[in-house]
Amino acid sequence: MPHLNPGDSAPDFALLDQQGNNVKLSDFKGRKLLLYFYPKANTPGCTEQACQIRDAREELADLGLVVVGISPDGTGPQRKFDDKYGLNFPLLSDQDHAIAEAYGVWGEKTMRGKKYLGVIRSSFLIDENGNIIQPWYKISPKDTVPRAVQALTA
């Protein structure tokens, strides 16, 4: 699984969000982007992470940062997740996990002694030109916002 490093070009994407809109990396040119990958909508860790991002919306906006989440869920589960928690930021559907693979976040995981392939929770801070400022692989749900804020205010 290849990892991205600071200064690398962020892999391009064009995916449907929870409303059925096509969202591309190029839509964010000229703005900083926090792109985060999460395993599954409506699970405890993913809910904690998404709600933390929702609650930090003003602070992130003050830092000039927009947020997009990506998971292998379809647009329907993404929409239900958004509606249930009032997230109000794009949640993209990567059902074939091609974008997760491009970012190096699709890999082997273990749960209850069983190995399977899935999204390894990770976040990427991307600059206005589409380059990686900072990647965080295997990030804890509670660390997504603090790490992004720290990187932008350091």
Cross-strand partners of 136: 123
Res. 2 pLDDT band, cuts 50 70 90:
confident
| Domains of the chain by residue range | 14-153
Radius of gyration of the chain (CA): 14
Res. 110 pLDDT band, cuts 50 70 90:
confident
Of residues 35, 42, 48, the one with CA closest to residue 131: 35
pTM to 2 decimal places: 0.95
CA 1, CA 106: separation in Å to the nearest integer? 8
Question: In this structure, which CATH number among 3.40.30.10, 3.30.70.141, 3.65.10.10, 3.40.50.720 belongs to the domain 14-153?
Answer: 3.40.30.10
The catalytic residues are 46
Contact between residue 51 and residue 73 where contact means Cβ atoms under 8 Å apart: no
In the predicted model, is pLDDT for residue 23 greater than 80? yes
In the predicted model, is pLDDT for residue 142 greater than 70? yes
Res. 154 pLDDT band, cuts 50 70 90:
confident
24 by Cβ neighbours in 10 Å (0-12 / 13-18 / 19+) ranks as exposed
**Residue 153 to residues 74, 81, 92, 112, 129, Cα–Cα distance (Å):** 35, 30, 27, 39, 19
Q: What is the per-residue pLDDT across 35-83, written as a single tens digit (0 to 9) for each?
A: 999 999 999 999 999 999 999 999 999 999 999 999 999 999 999 999 9
